[in-house]
Structure 1
Amino acid sequence: MNVKEFFKRNNLDEMQRQTLLKIESRGFWVLWVMLLAALIIESLLGFTAREMAAEWVIFMIGCVYSIASDVRAGIWDRRFKANTKTNALMSLVGGAAIFVWGLVKFAEFGLGLAVLLAAIMGACTFALTLAVFQICMKYYQKRHAELENPKEDDDENE
């Protein structure tokens, strides 16, 4: 058996494939949450960026792959609609989370400076996240339209 045949072979029925997909999906999200938790805990414990680099790179590769694959497949989300209001709300949640993290991280500098630094970080996170969501949404809408209404090739009709 050659390598190509090995990867084409599938011994699972439809129900087993669906179960396997659910298991793999849960596994991805468990790993994602655990890496995020590890990064947060390490940063609050004073680890340097150099010490956290491997986890951060793995986390970012997983995030970029997941987003790019979903958008390329014309999938936005199971629960949320692709619109500016939802993007702004989710960006606000991200900005608020970074604000709280910043308050904890910079508490040693005093309340005033901690609030200022956390507010700047939260606002920047909100703005960057909203921009990325909007760019991804535009590409998703374009891709979704292409998949829903494929263009007819003139060569096939002749």
Structure 2
Amino acid sequence: MIVNTTAEIRQYLPVNISLSIENLKPFIEPVEQKYLVKVIGQEQYDSINDYVKSNVYNEKNAALLKHCLPPVVFLSVLEGFDFLNVEFSDSGFHRNESDTKKGLYGYQERNIKSFLKNSGFNALENLLKFLEEHIDDYPKWADSDECTNAYDSLIRNATEFT
């Protein structure tokens, strides 16, 4: 997994976040596989994941990681949104609410989900654009089916569409 700390989440969701990384972890890896790997390919993903685990700085990997983190953060919170707000126990399923903390209004929930979705997919678009602009720096991506698919698309990215 490339997202491993609450601090990484706070970089992109700067609101008062008391969400622990442990609660978000069940959603991070599936999001990385579902969205990130489809853009950068498995080999490039494995490379950036190994870089994160190594704690050895590399300028090109750091630049790529900077573009990989936002979509994973936004889309992981989106994927886990409904589950992160409930409690599972022997007595059933309950919405977390107290006298001092109330649940969101429906419009707030819709707005937050829309923000997370738009931000996540825009971040994937930015990642793809970054890779296209720096293709020589990332030969694992350049040689991947995902790169070929990106270049074979009728409209390669949202910028071309506008």
TM-score bracket for this pair, using the shorter chain length: 0.3 to 0.5
Whose RCO is larger (CA < 8 A, sep 6+)? 2
Greater helix fraction, Structure 1 or Structure 2: 1
TM-score, normalised by the number of residues in structure 1: 0.32
- Normalization by structure 2: what TM-score? 0.32
The structure having more radius of gyration, on CA atoms, is 1
Higher percent of residues as strand? 2
